[in-house]
Structure 1
Amino acid sequence: MSQPSLKYILVVDIAEDIQQVIRRSLKHNVNWQVILANSITEGLALIKTKRPDVILLEASLLDNCHSNIWQQLKTIVSNHSIPLVFMAARVKAMDRLKFQQLGGTTEIAKPFDPKDLVETISQVLN
């Protein structure tokens, strides 16, 4: 029986504590490798070299993002069918609509339960 292929999870968040919580939450799945980025620009560079299978993006980073950088990310995500999961402190119905319009697959509210994070990523990957 063949081994499942390695899946790359790109986490784009400026908060190192959140990055580490995510890394610890996902480390038990041996088929997932977590890649960290502190900005959308850094995330774009990693997308081009690592080709992640899913992207977790802190929604507040969009507030300080130049529209051309965001458009590059949106185009890459769309062209390569990379699921985009927004992370946000509060997720309201209006936010869900905004995230969908921005190309998001789903969202997860912070703080999140590590089990919920694993479940969300598993659902997105399948």
Structure 2
Amino acid sequence: MARPRKPRRICAYPDIMGFRPFGDYADVVDLTLDEYEVMRLMDTLSYSQEECAKQMDVARSTVAAIYESARLKTADAIINGKSLVIHGGDVELCRSSSTCCRRCGQKACVDCEHGTSPQCKINVTR
């Protein structure tokens, strides 16, 4: 019997839950919330796989597999003109995911590795 999946920790749900190409599109690509979170952390906040794994409370090898899946799905949607929908996955929100940095307004999850906004490195009041 397989071991149960451990929920992946995310800091917030995306503000935008999908994208679609101009004109007609036939197919839809489903991107899970944990795949979105890995791309957000690694591609927009420049986290390493190790930092991302610590933030999401999973193994580094799990982050690598999630990132590979997310990258392939995103490329498929862009190159083949498919709609991209973000939903699902076995995730849990951090308890303090709505806390924002006073200086720059960026969200910073105080339950995760950083209690600061990645943009300005200012501590968020807990």
Structure possessing the higher relative contact order (Cα contacts under 8 Å, 6 or more residues apart): 2
* Higher share in strand: 1
The TM-score with structure 1 as length reference comes to 0.25
Task: Give the alignment's TM-score, normalised by structure 2.
Answer: 0.25
